[in-house]
Structure 1
Amino acid sequence: MTPGAGVGPAAGDGPGGPQRVAVGRGGRRRDQAVALGWLVLIWLLLWGDVSWGNLLGGLVVGVAVLLFFPLPPVTFGGRLRPGALLVLAATFAAELISASVRVAAVAVRPGYRPRGAIIAVPLRVRTDLNLALTAEVISLVPGTLILDVDRDQGVLYVHVLDVRGPGDLAASRDRVLTVERRVVRAIGSAAEVRQLHTPPADRRKKS
């Protein structure tokens, strides 16, 4: 393959396989710039303070990650919808606050030992970009953490805190799918938005 040539879809891609599209040199650079922006944003969120020092540190760390730990080609084939992006940002901020209050209440409750659980959540849109963004939003909310991502099957494995019964497990799965819906409606293509109406299938690998 000559340098700069597009990377074709992997064998077996299609309705039942991972959804990936061709990436050229220009698209690759654009995607790296987008990835760098997200890495810097996550760095600032982790520090909880927006300053020139944290911004510079995020840029240095982001460039180092992209250089020494190159990410698989992830291309943007959708379109930005400002209204849906605003909804995504507003609901994320609200959930960040409410989840922080819940986790703090659990932490200071005398003698209470919360039970955790690990759930598998198959996503409806199985692109790398959707997997990455949904996983990042879920992990940034206190009380939930992504433990593993099955990229081929499009399944997120999520640890949830303070599970008291089956209803909490179902509610946690619904929250993950709700985040996916907001992400896809904010940046997904028309075809990806239509996939949101398809019930998620259980694609976990059977031993």
Structure 2
Amino acid sequence: MSRSSDAIRVATQRPGRFPHASLGTLLWCTVVWVMLWGEVTPGNIISGFVLALAITSLAPFPAMRFDGRFRPRALVILATHFLYDLVVSSTQQAFFIIRRKKPRAAIIRVQLRSESDMYLTMTAGMSAVVPGTVPVEADAATGTLYIHVFDIGLAGGVSAAHAAILDLEERILRTFASRDELIRAGLVPGPTKKSGLLPMPFAPVYEPEEED
């Protein structure tokens, strides 16, 4: 084998590496694990990180192209809203159960603004952690989430539940999406919701639909 062909082989070969996932992915999975347990302890953190290593090694995530950017101010807003929703929803659920009311559940269909599988996954994952909403199906081809709502009255109605998912997606996009991705999603580039939406036809209005 010539030196040139050997150099090409070395340059194009993709050696196996450990861990298979990036540090950011491992930390994100660890955070989700700790949130699911509801208690920040050394044991939960270590077990979550080890589990993230095992899952991403045995079943590596498919490669996704990421052209976005990181905005610290938007991340603070995303984290603050998420913790607020977590506390409020947990409190509402607790009082609802104590009063022994019968929940009026519903499954709503939410057409997300973004075309990226990554943002769809993040939206579904964060909505699953907040009590009262559980994603039951995701259609990556159309960017659609089907969300089970524990009690539609507690959520403020179908429109409010629908808007809450879109608001969560918007905060995620404003934290991580590139300028072009924000524009394609119908959002005026900026770290906060105050930046606004683009006028039609860039920002299609999705009507909430309640599934039988």
Provide the TM-score with structure 1 as the length reference. 0.77
Letter in 2 for 1:145: V
Give 1:70 deviation, angstroms.
Answer: 2.0
Letter in 2 for 1:60: V
Q: Is the contact made by 2:152 and 2:161 (CA closer than 8 Å) also made in structure 1?
A: no
CA–CA distance in 2 between the matches of 1:3 and 1:177? Answer: 46
CA deviations over 1:149-173 (Å, ceiling 9, x no partner): 11111101100021249x7111111
Give 1:109 deviation, angstroms.
Answer: 1.2
| SS, match of residue 80 in structure 1 | coil
Show the counterpart of 1:151.
Answer: 140
Q: In the alignment, which of 62, 67, 73 is matched to residue 57 of structure 2?
A: 67
CA deviations over 1:4-55 (Å, ceiling 9, x no partner): 86xxxxxxxxxxxxxxxxxx98xxx896332212111111112223333222
Give 1:102 deviation, angstroms.
Answer: 1.1
* Structure possessing the higher radius of gyration over alpha carbons: 2
Q: In the alignment, which of 93, 97, 102 is matched to residue 103 of structure 1?
A: 93
Q: Is the contact made by 1:80 and 1:187 (CA closer than 8 Å) also made in structure 2?
A: yes
| SS, match of residue 50 in structure 1 | coil
Show the counterpart of 1:9.
Answer: none
Alignment of 1:45-84 (within 5 A): 45-84=35-74
Structure 1 residue 140 corresponds to structure 2 residue 105: no
Alignment of 1:174-189 (within 5 A): 174-189=163-178
Which range is displaced more, 32-41 or 96-105?
32-41
CA pair 102-193 structure 1, distance change in 2 beyond 3 A = same
Count of residue pairs brought into register by the alignment? 180
Provide the TM-score with structure 2 as the length reference. 0.76
CA–CA distance in 2 between the matches of 1:84 and 1:4? Answer: 38
Q: Is the contact made by 1:31 and 1:75 (CA closer than 8 Å) also made in structure 2?
A: no
Show the counterpart of 2:82.
Answer: 92
Structure 1 residue 42 corresponds to structure 2 residue 32: yes
Letter in 1 for 2:80: A
| SS, match of residue 156 in structure 1 | strand
Q: Is the contact made by 1:32 and 1:66 (CA closer than 8 Å) also made in structure 2?
A: no
CA deviations over 1:63-96 (Å, ceiling 9, x no partner): 1111222222123311111111101011111111
